[in-house]
């Protein structure tokens, strides 16, 4: 997963491909979980 910084906010650089989504499903992780991790990272960085 590539993360990019836009206006001091980190976000995923690319949408997941169908294959990546399939892999995430196999390991029981959904896209929202990844997005939430990125949000938490933003909050963590913002507190520094």
Measured CA to CA, the distance from residue 41 to residue 11 in angstroms comes to: 10
List the one residue out of 1, 8, 2 whose CA is nearest residue 43: 8
Q: What is the pLDDT along the chain (48 residues), one digit of tens a residue?
A: 678 888 888 888 888 889 988 999 999 998 888 889 888 988 888 776
- Which range of residues forms the domain containing residue 33? 3-46
Residue 28: its pLDDT value, please? 92
Q: Within a 10 A sphere around the Cβ of 34, how many other Cβ atoms?
A: 15
pTM beyond 0.75: no
* Residue 12 confidence (pLDDT): 83
CA angle centred on 38, ends 36 and 44, rounded to 5°: 105
Q: What is the pLDDT of residue 27?
A: 93
* Domains in the chain, number: 1
CA-CA distance, 33 to 19, in Å (whole number)? 17
């Amino acid at each position: 997963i590539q993360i990019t910084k836009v206006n001091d906010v980190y976000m995923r650089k690319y949408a997941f491909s169908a294959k990546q989504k399939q892999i995430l499903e196999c390991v029981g992780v959904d896209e929202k979980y990844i997005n939430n991790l990125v949000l938490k990272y933003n909050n963590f960085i913002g507190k520094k």
